[in-house]
Amino acid sequence: MFTTYCLDTGIPVKAEPLEDDWLAQLPPPGTYYDLTDEQQHEAVLRLRNPIAKIKKDSQFTWKTVADRMKVVGLDPYRIDLDEPTLRFMFNRHYLHHLYGGSFVNSFPHPAPEKTQVHLLDDFMCLLLEFNPHAPVNPGDPGLFFGEKPADNEGGFTRRVHRVFVRVRDKPALWSYMGQYRMYVSESLRTDEFARQPLAVSTKDVGKDILEKSWGSVVTARVCFRKEHHREPTEDEISEVVEDNQHMAAVRRKLAWEDIVAAYDRGEEEIGVWAMKCVSYDIQFQRVLARNYKYYTPPKGKSKDSDTLKASQKRKRGSSEPETPEPKLEYDNGDDDVDFDAEVVEVKHLKSEEDADMHDEPKVSPSQQTHATPIKSE
Protein backbone atom coordinates (compact mmCIF):
# COMPACT_ATOMS: atom_id res chain seq x y z
CA MET A 1 0.00 0.00 0.00
CA PHE A 2 1.11 3.56 -0.57
CA THR A 3 -0.40 6.86 0.40
CA THR A 4 -1.19 9.87 -1.78
CA TYR A 5 -0.98 13.29 -0.15
CA CYS A 6 -3.15 16.28 -0.98
CA LEU A 7 -0.79 18.99 -2.19
CA ASP A 8 -2.59 21.94 -0.65
CA THR A 9 -3.04 20.43 2.81
CA GLY A 10 -0.39 17.71 3.09
CA ILE A 11 -3.05 15.36 4.48
CA PRO A 12 -3.07 11.70 3.39
CA VAL A 13 -6.07 11.27 1.13
CA LYS A 14 -5.99 7.83 -0.44
CA ALA A 15 -4.41 4.43 -0.01
CA GLU A 16 -4.06 2.32 -3.13
CA PRO A 17 -3.83 -1.50 -3.20
CA LEU A 18 -0.84 -3.44 -4.40
CA GLU A 19 -0.52 -3.86 -8.14
CA ASP A 20 -1.21 -7.61 -8.00
CA ASP A 21 -4.79 -6.80 -6.93
CA TRP A 22 -5.50 -5.50 -10.45
CA LEU A 23 -5.09 -9.00 -11.92
CA ALA A 24 -8.44 -10.09 -10.50
CA GLN A 25 -10.22 -7.34 -12.44
CA LEU A 26 -9.84 -8.83 -15.91
CA PRO A 27 -13.13 -9.91 -17.53
CA PRO A 28 -14.19 -13.53 -16.97
CA PRO A 29 -13.03 -15.90 -19.73
CA GLY A 30 -15.47 -15.96 -22.63
CA THR A 31 -17.14 -12.61 -21.83
CA TYR A 32 -15.87 -10.95 -24.99
CA TYR A 33 -16.69 -13.91 -27.21
CA ASP A 34 -20.32 -13.94 -26.05
CA LEU A 35 -20.93 -10.64 -27.88
CA THR A 36 -22.18 -10.60 -31.43
CA ASP A 37 -20.39 -8.51 -34.07
CA GLU A 38 -23.17 -5.93 -33.79
CA GLN A 39 -22.78 -5.72 -30.01
CA GLN A 40 -19.01 -5.39 -30.32
CA HIS A 41 -19.44 -2.63 -32.90
CA GLU A 42 -21.84 -0.75 -30.61
CA ALA A 43 -19.47 -1.15 -27.67
CA VAL A 44 -16.58 0.33 -29.66
CA LEU A 45 -18.77 3.25 -30.80
CA ARG A 46 -19.56 4.02 -27.13
CA LEU A 47 -15.85 4.67 -26.55
CA ARG A 48 -16.09 7.87 -28.59
CA ASN A 49 -16.19 11.38 -27.16
CA PRO A 50 -17.49 14.21 -29.39
CA ILE A 51 -15.17 16.68 -27.66
CA ALA A 52 -12.05 14.67 -28.52
CA LYS A 53 -10.33 15.90 -31.67
CA ILE A 54 -9.00 12.94 -33.66
CA LYS A 55 -7.66 13.45 -37.14
CA LYS A 56 -9.65 12.02 -40.00
CA ASP A 57 -8.54 8.58 -41.22
CA SER A 58 -6.14 8.14 -38.30
CA GLN A 59 -8.12 5.36 -36.59
CA PHE A 60 -8.26 1.63 -37.23
CA THR A 61 -11.43 -0.27 -38.08
CA TRP A 62 -13.85 -1.10 -35.28
CA LYS A 63 -13.12 -4.80 -35.77
CA THR A 64 -9.38 -4.31 -35.30
CA VAL A 65 -10.05 -2.30 -32.13
CA ALA A 66 -12.48 -4.87 -30.70
CA ASP A 67 -10.13 -7.77 -31.44
CA ARG A 68 -7.21 -6.09 -29.67
CA MET A 69 -9.31 -5.15 -26.64
CA LYS A 70 -10.58 -8.67 -26.08
CA VAL A 71 -7.84 -9.30 -23.50
CA VAL A 72 -9.38 -6.66 -21.21
CA GLY A 73 -12.99 -6.45 -22.39
CA LEU A 74 -14.98 -3.50 -23.69
CA ASP A 75 -16.72 -2.43 -20.48
CA PRO A 76 -15.71 0.83 -18.77
CA TYR A 77 -14.63 1.18 -15.15
CA ARG A 78 -17.50 2.80 -13.24
CA ILE A 79 -16.54 6.01 -11.44
CA ASP A 80 -18.65 7.56 -8.69
CA LEU A 81 -17.90 11.23 -9.32
CA ASP A 82 -19.98 14.21 -10.43
CA GLU A 83 -19.82 14.86 -14.18
CA PRO A 84 -18.21 18.36 -14.12
CA THR A 85 -15.33 17.14 -11.95
CA LEU A 86 -14.97 13.90 -13.90
CA ARG A 87 -14.77 15.76 -17.24
CA PHE A 88 -12.48 18.52 -15.95
CA MET A 89 -9.79 19.51 -18.49
CA PHE A 90 -6.62 21.50 -17.91
CA ASN A 91 -3.43 22.87 -19.44
CA ARG A 92 -0.60 20.35 -19.08
CA HIS A 93 1.71 22.97 -17.58
CA TYR A 94 -0.63 22.87 -14.58
CA LEU A 95 0.19 19.20 -14.01
CA HIS A 96 3.90 19.91 -14.53
CA HIS A 97 3.86 22.78 -12.03
CA LEU A 98 2.11 20.76 -9.33
CA TYR A 99 3.90 17.44 -9.63
CA GLY A 100 7.03 18.09 -11.68
CA GLY A 101 8.39 16.10 -14.59
CA SER A 102 8.68 17.13 -18.22
CA PHE A 103 5.62 18.77 -19.71
CA VAL A 104 6.26 17.22 -23.13
CA ASN A 105 7.29 13.58 -22.54
CA SER A 106 4.80 10.73 -22.71
CA PHE A 107 6.21 9.29 -19.46
CA PRO A 108 7.36 12.26 -17.35
CA HIS A 109 9.39 11.43 -14.24
CA PRO A 110 9.39 14.08 -11.50
CA ALA A 111 12.67 14.80 -9.77
CA PRO A 112 13.28 13.00 -6.45
CA GLU A 113 12.72 16.28 -4.61
CA LYS A 114 9.16 16.31 -5.93
CA THR A 115 8.32 12.65 -5.46
CA GLN A 116 9.45 12.81 -1.83
CA VAL A 117 6.59 15.27 -1.30
CA HIS A 118 3.72 13.81 -3.34
CA LEU A 119 4.95 10.19 -3.78
CA LEU A 120 3.70 10.03 -7.38
CA ASP A 121 5.81 8.81 -10.31
CA ASP A 122 3.31 6.95 -12.47
CA PHE A 123 2.34 9.54 -15.08
CA MET A 124 1.48 8.53 -18.66
CA CYS A 125 0.47 11.34 -21.01
CA LEU A 126 -0.87 10.40 -24.44
CA LEU A 127 -1.64 12.34 -27.59
CA LEU A 128 -4.46 11.17 -29.83
CA GLU A 129 -2.26 12.13 -32.75
CA PHE A 130 0.07 9.27 -31.81
CA ASN A 131 -2.41 6.94 -30.11
CA PRO A 132 -5.81 7.51 -31.75
CA HIS A 133 -7.47 4.76 -29.69
CA ALA A 134 -6.31 5.95 -26.28
CA PRO A 135 -9.25 6.33 -23.86
CA VAL A 136 -11.11 9.63 -24.33
CA ASN A 137 -13.67 9.02 -21.57
CA PRO A 138 -12.55 8.40 -17.96
CA GLY A 139 -12.58 4.69 -17.18
CA ASP A 140 -12.91 3.49 -20.77
CA PRO A 141 -10.56 0.83 -22.17
CA GLY A 142 -8.11 1.84 -24.88
CA LEU A 143 -5.18 0.81 -27.05
CA PHE A 144 -1.53 1.84 -26.93
CA PHE A 145 0.61 1.30 -30.03
CA GLY A 146 4.34 0.68 -30.24
CA GLU A 147 6.76 0.43 -33.13
CA LYS A 148 7.69 -3.12 -32.14
CA PRO A 149 5.74 -6.14 -30.79
CA ALA A 150 4.29 -5.84 -27.30
CA ASP A 151 5.83 -8.00 -24.59
CA ASN A 152 5.99 -8.35 -20.84
CA GLU A 153 9.66 -7.39 -20.56
CA GLY A 154 10.64 -4.56 -18.26
CA GLY A 155 8.09 -2.99 -15.93
CA PHE A 156 5.68 -1.53 -18.49
CA THR A 157 2.96 -4.14 -18.04
CA ARG A 158 3.63 -4.73 -14.34
CA ARG A 159 2.92 -1.25 -13.08
CA VAL A 160 -0.17 0.93 -12.90
CA HIS A 161 -0.10 4.12 -14.95
CA ARG A 162 -1.84 7.39 -14.10
CA VAL A 163 -3.16 8.15 -17.59
CA PHE A 164 -3.83 11.58 -19.05
CA VAL A 165 -4.98 12.21 -22.62
CA ARG A 166 -4.99 15.45 -24.59
CA VAL A 167 -8.63 15.51 -25.66
CA ARG A 168 -8.49 18.94 -27.29
CA ASP A 169 -5.68 20.64 -29.16
CA LYS A 170 -6.79 24.27 -29.68
CA PRO A 171 -6.46 25.17 -26.92
CA ALA A 172 -4.49 22.15 -25.74
CA LEU A 173 -6.48 20.61 -22.88
CA TRP A 174 -5.85 17.37 -21.04
CA SER A 175 -8.04 15.10 -18.93
CA TYR A 176 -7.27 12.48 -16.30
CA MET A 177 -8.65 9.10 -17.42
CA GLY A 178 -7.79 6.89 -14.46
CA GLN A 179 -5.29 4.29 -13.28
CA TYR A 180 -4.49 1.84 -16.08
CA ARG A 181 -2.72 -1.46 -16.56
CA MET A 182 -1.25 -2.45 -19.94
CA TYR A 183 -1.89 -5.95 -21.28
CA VAL A 184 -0.07 -7.47 -24.22
CA SER A 185 -2.35 -7.85 -27.20
CA GLU A 186 -1.87 -9.20 -30.71
CA SER A 187 0.33 -7.17 -33.06
CA LEU A 188 -1.21 -5.88 -36.25
CA ARG A 189 -1.09 -8.50 -38.98
CA THR A 190 0.40 -7.59 -42.35
CA ASP A 191 -3.01 -7.65 -44.02
CA GLU A 192 -4.48 -5.40 -41.29
CA PHE A 193 -1.63 -2.95 -41.68
CA ALA A 194 -2.22 -2.85 -45.43
CA ARG A 195 -6.00 -2.34 -45.06
CA GLN A 196 -5.70 0.73 -42.86
CA PRO A 197 -6.16 4.26 -44.25
CA LEU A 198 -3.17 5.73 -46.07
CA ALA A 199 -2.46 7.97 -43.10
CA VAL A 200 -1.71 4.89 -41.02
CA SER A 201 0.36 2.81 -43.39
CA THR A 202 2.58 5.12 -45.37
CA LYS A 203 4.57 8.31 -45.11
CA ASP A 204 3.85 9.58 -41.61
CA VAL A 205 4.65 6.44 -39.66
CA GLY A 206 7.75 5.76 -41.78
CA LYS A 207 9.15 9.27 -41.40
CA ASP A 208 8.60 9.39 -37.65
CA ILE A 209 10.26 6.04 -37.00
CA LEU A 210 13.18 6.98 -39.23
CA GLU A 211 13.73 10.45 -37.78
CA LYS A 212 12.86 10.10 -34.09
CA SER A 213 15.18 8.64 -31.48
CA TRP A 214 12.52 6.21 -30.24
CA GLY A 215 12.52 4.57 -33.68
CA SER A 216 16.25 3.83 -33.64
CA VAL A 217 15.95 0.08 -33.00
CA VAL A 218 13.54 -0.45 -35.91
CA THR A 219 15.58 1.82 -38.17
CA ALA A 220 18.77 -0.07 -37.34
CA ARG A 221 17.13 -3.42 -38.02
CA VAL A 222 15.77 -2.27 -41.40
CA CYS A 223 19.19 -1.00 -42.45
CA PHE A 224 20.93 -4.17 -41.27
CA ARG A 225 18.64 -6.40 -43.32
CA LYS A 226 19.13 -4.18 -46.35
CA GLU A 227 22.91 -4.45 -46.14
CA HIS A 228 23.41 -8.01 -44.83
CA HIS A 229 20.29 -9.84 -46.11
CA ARG A 230 19.63 -11.55 -42.77
CA GLU A 231 18.08 -10.88 -39.38
CA PRO A 232 20.35 -9.03 -36.93
CA THR A 233 21.12 -10.16 -33.39
CA GLU A 234 20.28 -8.01 -30.37
CA ASP A 235 23.98 -7.33 -29.77
CA GLU A 236 24.46 -6.15 -33.35
CA ILE A 237 21.55 -3.72 -33.05
CA SER A 238 22.61 -2.46 -29.62
CA GLU A 239 26.08 -1.70 -30.97
CA VAL A 240 24.57 0.52 -33.66
CA VAL A 241 21.92 2.23 -31.53
CA GLU A 242 24.33 3.14 -28.73
CA ASP A 243 26.69 4.90 -31.16
CA ASN A 244 25.19 8.27 -32.16
CA GLN A 245 27.45 8.73 -35.17
CA HIS A 246 26.77 5.23 -36.43
CA MET A 247 23.04 5.76 -35.97
CA ALA A 248 23.17 9.04 -37.89
CA ALA A 249 24.90 7.25 -40.77
CA VAL A 250 22.22 4.55 -40.75
CA ARG A 251 19.45 7.15 -41.08
CA ARG A 252 21.18 8.72 -44.07
CA LYS A 253 21.13 5.37 -45.87
CA LEU A 254 17.36 4.94 -45.59
CA ALA A 255 14.18 6.63 -46.74
CA TRP A 256 10.78 6.47 -45.09
CA GLU A 257 9.68 4.05 -47.82
CA ASP A 258 12.22 1.52 -46.53
CA ILE A 259 10.62 1.62 -43.09
CA VAL A 260 7.07 1.20 -44.38
CA ALA A 261 8.14 -1.62 -46.72
CA ALA A 262 9.51 -3.54 -43.71
CA TYR A 263 6.08 -3.41 -42.07
CA ASP A 264 4.35 -4.29 -45.34
CA ARG A 265 6.51 -7.40 -45.65
CA GLY A 266 5.92 -8.40 -42.05
CA GLU A 267 9.58 -7.96 -41.05
CA GLU A 268 8.49 -5.39 -38.47
CA GLU A 269 5.25 -5.30 -36.49
CA ILE A 270 3.10 -2.61 -34.91
CA GLY A 271 2.78 -3.77 -31.31
CA VAL A 272 -0.47 -3.30 -29.41
CA TRP A 273 -1.16 -3.08 -25.68
CA ALA A 274 -4.74 -3.11 -24.39
CA MET A 275 -5.35 -0.47 -21.72
CA LYS A 276 -7.66 -1.35 -18.85
CA CYS A 277 -8.75 1.10 -16.18
CA VAL A 278 -8.39 -0.68 -12.85
CA SER A 279 -8.98 2.22 -10.46
CA TYR A 280 -9.65 5.95 -10.34
CA ASP A 281 -8.08 8.39 -7.89
CA ILE A 282 -11.12 10.53 -7.08
CA GLN A 283 -9.36 12.72 -4.53
CA PHE A 284 -6.51 13.39 -6.97
CA GLN A 285 -9.02 14.61 -9.56
CA ARG A 286 -10.88 16.75 -7.02
CA VAL A 287 -7.63 18.48 -6.05
CA LEU A 288 -6.83 19.18 -9.71
CA ALA A 289 -10.27 20.61 -10.42
CA ARG A 290 -10.60 22.61 -7.18
CA ASN A 291 -7.28 24.45 -7.45
CA TYR A 292 -7.25 25.20 -11.19
CA LYS A 293 -8.88 28.58 -10.58
CA TYR A 294 -5.66 29.72 -8.91
CA TYR A 295 -3.55 28.82 -11.93
CA THR A 296 -2.25 31.18 -14.61
CA PRO A 297 -1.18 29.37 -17.80
CA PRO A 298 2.08 30.41 -19.47
CA LYS A 299 1.83 32.65 -22.49
CA GLY A 300 3.50 31.51 -25.68
CA LYS A 301 5.25 33.93 -28.00
CA SER A 302 3.06 35.36 -30.71
CA LYS A 303 4.28 35.95 -34.25
CA ASP A 304 3.50 39.65 -33.92
CA SER A 305 5.68 39.84 -30.81
CA ASP A 306 8.60 38.12 -32.55
CA THR A 307 8.28 40.42 -35.57
CA LEU A 308 8.21 43.52 -33.36
CA LYS A 309 11.31 42.46 -31.42
CA ALA A 310 13.21 41.72 -34.64
CA SER A 311 12.23 45.11 -36.06
CA GLN A 312 13.38 46.91 -32.90
CA LYS A 313 16.76 45.14 -33.03
CA ARG A 314 17.30 46.20 -36.62
CA LYS A 315 16.43 49.80 -35.80
CA ARG A 316 19.04 49.75 -33.04
CA GLY A 317 21.61 48.58 -35.55
CA SER A 318 21.72 45.02 -34.28
CA SER A 319 24.23 42.79 -36.02
CA GLU A 320 21.97 39.74 -35.62
CA PRO A 321 20.52 38.28 -38.82
CA GLU A 322 16.95 39.19 -39.76
CA THR A 323 16.02 35.53 -40.26
CA PRO A 324 14.89 34.12 -36.90
CA GLU A 325 16.43 30.93 -35.58
CA PRO A 326 14.26 27.83 -35.90
CA LYS A 327 12.19 27.09 -32.82
CA LEU A 328 12.59 23.93 -30.84
CA GLU A 329 10.07 21.24 -31.66
CA TYR A 330 8.67 19.23 -28.78
CA ASP A 331 8.61 15.44 -28.94
CA ASN A 332 4.83 15.41 -28.78
CA GLY A 333 3.99 18.89 -30.06
CA ASP A 334 2.36 19.84 -26.78
CA ASP A 335 0.63 23.10 -25.96
CA ASP A 336 2.36 25.36 -28.52
CA VAL A 337 4.37 27.11 -25.81
CA ASP A 338 8.02 28.20 -25.98
CA PHE A 339 10.53 27.07 -23.37
CA ASP A 340 11.07 30.69 -22.36
CA ALA A 341 7.41 31.34 -21.68
CA GLU A 342 6.75 33.36 -18.55
CA VAL A 343 6.80 31.54 -15.23
CA VAL A 344 3.42 30.26 -14.09
CA GLU A 345 1.93 31.10 -10.74
CA VAL A 346 -0.17 28.80 -8.62
CA LYS A 347 -1.51 30.21 -5.39
CA HIS A 348 -2.32 28.25 -2.23
CA LEU A 349 -0.49 25.19 -3.54
CA LYS A 350 2.66 23.77 -2.07
CA SER A 351 5.33 23.91 -4.80
CA GLU A 352 9.08 23.62 -4.95
CA GLU A 353 11.83 24.91 -7.21
CA ASP A 354 11.54 23.53 -10.74
CA ALA A 355 14.54 21.23 -10.46
CA ASP A 356 12.51 18.53 -12.15
CA MET A 357 13.74 18.55 -15.74
CA HIS A 358 16.15 15.71 -15.07
CA ASP A 359 17.15 13.14 -17.64
CA GLU A 360 15.01 10.03 -17.60
CA PRO A 361 16.58 6.79 -16.38
CA LYS A 362 18.53 5.04 -19.14
CA VAL A 363 17.44 1.62 -20.30
CA SER A 364 18.77 -0.68 -22.97
CA PRO A 365 17.31 -0.19 -26.46
CA SER A 366 15.51 -3.53 -26.30
CA GLN A 367 13.61 -2.43 -23.17
CA GLN A 368 12.41 0.92 -24.49
CA THR A 369 8.70 1.34 -25.17
CA HIS A 370 7.33 4.23 -27.18
CA ALA A 371 4.18 5.33 -28.89
CA THR A 372 4.06 4.82 -32.62
CA PRO A 373 2.86 7.92 -34.45
CA ILE A 374 -0.27 6.92 -36.33
CA LYS A 375 -1.47 10.15 -37.76
CA SER A 376 -2.42 12.14 -40.83
CA GLU A 377 -1.91 15.68 -42.01
Residues of the chain above pLDDT 70, percent:
68
What pLDDT digit, counting tens, does each position of 156-189 carry? 888 999 999 999 988 899 999 999 999 999 998 8
Q: What is the 3-state secondary structure (H, E, C) of the chain?
A: CEEEECCCCCCEEEEECCHHHHHHHCCCCCCHHHCCHHHHHHHHHCCCCCCCCCCCCCCCCHHHHHHHHCCCCCCCCCCCCCHHHHCCCECHHHHHHHHCCCCCCCCCCCCHHHHHHHCCCCEEEEECCCCCCCCCCCCCCEEEEECCCCCCCCCCCCCCEEEEEEEEECCEEEEEEEEEEEEECCCCCHHHHHHCCHHHHCHHHHHHHHHCHHHHHHHHHHHHHHHHCCCCCHHHHHHHHCCHHHHHHHHHHCCHHHHHHHHHCCCCCCEEEEEEEEECCHHHHHHHHHHHHHEECCCCCCHHHHHHHHHHHHHCCCCCCCCCCCCCCCCCCCCCCCCCCCCCEECCCCCCCCCCCCCCCCCCHHHCCCCCCCCCC
Mean pLDDT confidence for 186-214: 76
What pLDDT digit, counting tens, does each position of 31-43 carry? 555 788 999 999 9
What pLDDT digit, counting tens, does each position of 280-329 carry? 999 999 999 999 999 888 876 555 444 445 445 444 444 333 323 222 22
pTM of this structure: 0.70
Residues of the chain above pLDDT 90, percent:
45
Q: Is the pLDDT of residue 274 over 60?
A: yes
Q: Residue 186 has what pLDDT? A: 93
- The residues spanned by each domain of the chain are 2-188+270-295+350-367, 191-264
